[in-house]
């Protein structure tokens, strides 16, 4: 697609004998044409560099080039669509579902109101997003709120949103990962309260454990509160051929395609269980409990005995979190909650296991900093 054309001789203004005014306009016209030519050349160069940066996965820098190109050629749809494509890669679409999760929003706001209580405390919000939790903390009466965001594009948007809501004098956005923050340089003092929602459907996938460990050591006062203060992981044995087929394939069109299972997900992935036929073959069992405020938060392994409640085929483990936000406020993505934006976490086994009713199974539960895994014996 040829987006930018130069200016040919046919574009040059004709000679005129219309007098001094026309002569001045004629002198200005070539300069204006030259500026247009220069702008088009600059746009071409920016677009080419943007594509090169995007191809090497330097998405933030690529977006900056396309934004500059758009400022010179605002009506160019190809540039606008390319920018939007980059933004979609930098800002996952789950942000929209999260922002529209009213249960989640109400829970965090209530927890912040209880924890802050108009105390003029200093709040640190890790993972700004739109700045929603920071604005809630400011509205609840926090004296100062500092929030960090690792994606520069999101950080810039958060600043604009916070300013639009006239809270920029209360909330400071820092475009860094929390582990790069230094007290006295990025924030003036240790925080009294940490609010953090870097959790995925399986709780640990966005790195809440190392983030909290670092914050407790480097960024928070010793007696600081954390929202959430605690969390539990609960699980059940899952029978669901439909869910199993979302991660494994053995035959297609009469051909053996089982080698493709080498790229199946080995840990967990999100599933809205109510959208698939399924059955639970065991009662609910607790796998782990985490104390974010005082606990060690190190990797662990534990085994539990699970007794099946009916005959069936165990395709995997379904599990979910319960977040204790303090003050009696609890938030969960349990299978019974069909409304919140988080789905359930599911780990499926390549080879399902047939079980009888009242059969005892040993389940080994393991977690590291960013994942939870289960195995059966």
Catalytic residues: 197, 206
Distances (CA, A) of 167 to 55, 123, 151, 154, 174: 38, 14, 21, 17, 15
Give, for 153, the enclosing helix (H) or strand (E).
Answer: helix 152-164
SS (H, E, C) 219-274: CEEEEEEEECCEEEEEEEEEECHHHHCCCCCCEECCEECHHHHHHCCCCCEEECHH
3-state DSSP call for residue 276? coil
3-state DSSP call for residue 193? strand
Placement of tokens 């606990």 in the chain? 295
CB atoms inside a 10 Å sphere around CB 98: 18
302 Cβ partners below 8 Å, 6+ apart? 287, 288, 364, 365
217 Cβ partners below 8 Å, 6+ apart? none
What is the C-alpha separation between 243 and 268, in angstroms, rounded? Answer: 12
């Amino acid at each position: 697609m040829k987006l930018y054309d130069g200016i040919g001789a046919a574009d040059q203004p004709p000679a005129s004998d219309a007098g001094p005014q026309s002569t001045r306009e004629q002198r200005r016209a070539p300069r204006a044409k030259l500026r247009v030519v220069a702008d088009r050349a600059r746009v071409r160069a920016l677009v080419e560099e943007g594509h090169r940066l995007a191809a090497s996965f330097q998405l933030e820098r690529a977006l900056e080039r396309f934004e500059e190109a758009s400022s010179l050629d605002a009506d160019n749809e190809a540039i606008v669509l390319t920018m939007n494509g980059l933004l979609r890669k930098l800002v996952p679409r789950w942000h929209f579902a999260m922002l529209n999760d009213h249960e989640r929003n109400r829970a965090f706001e209530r927890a912040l109101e209880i924890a802050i209580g108009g105390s003029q405390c200093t709040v640190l919000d890790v993972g700004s997003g739109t700045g929603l939790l920071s604005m809630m903390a400011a509205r609840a009466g926090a004296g100062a709120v500092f929030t960090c965001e690792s994606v520069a594009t999101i950080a810039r948007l958060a600043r604009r949103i916070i300013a639009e809501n006239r809270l920029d004098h209360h909330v400071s956005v820092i475009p860094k990962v929390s582990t790069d923050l230094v007290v006295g340089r990025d924030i003036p003092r240790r925080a009294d309260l940490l609010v953090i929602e870097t959790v995925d459907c399986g709780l640990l996938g966005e790195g809440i454990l190392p983030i909290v460990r670092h914050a407790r050591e480097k960024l928070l006062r010793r007696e600081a509160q954390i929202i959430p203060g605690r969390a539990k992981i609960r699980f059940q044995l899952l029978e669901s051929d439909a869910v199993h087929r979302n991660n494994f394939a053995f035959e297609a069109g009469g051909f053996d395609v089982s080698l493709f299972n080498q790229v199946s997900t080995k840990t967990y992935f999100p599933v809205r269980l109510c959208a698939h036929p399924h059955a639970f073959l065991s009662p609910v069992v607790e796998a782990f409990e985490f104390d974010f405020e005082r606990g060690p938060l190190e990797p662990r392994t534990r085994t539990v005995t699970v007794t099946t409640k009916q005959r069936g085929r165990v395709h995997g483990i379904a599990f979910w979190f319960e977040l204790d936000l303090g003050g009696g406020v609890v938030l969960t993505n349990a299978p019974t909650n069909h409304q919140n934006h988080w789905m359930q976490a599911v780990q499926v086994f390549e080879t399902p296991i047939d079980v009888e009713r009242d059969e005892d199974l040993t389940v080994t539960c393991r977690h590291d900093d960013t994942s939870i895994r289960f195995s059966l014996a």
